[in-house]
Structure 1
């Protein structure tokens, strides 16, 4: 089922009723830590990445470790993945052709790679 079909009619009226025709509506789908960042260029790119930066979500259906894998990129550079425990709905949305956007929501200078980068995924209506 598509994300749009899961939004209750009341919420849909609130979202669409108050928006002008040219206004873009973004609904927060999930907030997650970045998985696997220790295997990518996060340490090298750390000084350049800022909260609010746009991220690209790239579906990897042929990934041998996870058929629902979604790679997260910043300015064309792989940073890591949507965590396996949280990627099913996002993978289904991408596969269904939903328009999603992602952005860096929080950065922490933490020794635990799972706590360094948090990001948000939005459904664009």
Structure 2
């Protein structure tokens, strides 16, 4: 464990994050920024914030819909072009986590929040 923490510090990774190694599966822009709570929550969001992913198989617009929540509030969705593998993994009960990987001011709301979806490499307690 000590070697892992030292490596994390050398690489500029938070020691807290290094204790829970994860394999990044994809990075995607948040879809639906203007249609959900993301715009109102924008001042409170931080890079690295944990997000939760929820399948919405009954979504009338997209059968593979994956909703993205921050602290229990809907931010938006994974884009339709990027949600297939994540939807399938969630449907199979696989453990995935997500976090905000990038925030930036941009006129196009589709380019303001980037989400990172990952699979933990070690079992979570």
Question: Could you tell me the TM-score, scaled by structure 2's length?
Answer: 0.79
Is 1:41 aligned to residue 7 of structure 2? Answer: no
Cα deviation 1:30-77 (Å, max 9, x = unaligned) = 000000111012121111000000000010000010000000000011
Q: Distance in 1 between matches of 2:47 and 2:33?
A: 16
Structure 2 equivalent of residue 122 of structure 1: 118
Q: Distance in 2 between matches of 1:75 and 1:107?
A: 17
Q: Distance in 2 between matches of 1:43 and 1:86?
A: 22
List runs of 5+ in structure 1 lacking aligned partners: 1-22
Is 1:108 aligned to residue 109 of structure 2? Answer: no
List runs of 5+ in structure 2 lacking aligned partners: 1-18
Q: Could you tell me which of 64, 87, 94 is aligned with 2:60?
A: 64
Q: Distance in 2 between matches of 1:49 and 1:100?
A: 20
After superposition, residues 21-32 of structure 1 pair within 5 angstroms as 24-32=20-28
Is 1:90 aligned to residue 89 of structure 2? Answer: no
- Large movers: runs of 4+ above 6 Å: none
Of 39-48 and 81-90, the range deviating more from structure 2: 39-48
Structure 2 equivalent of residue 76 of structure 1: 72
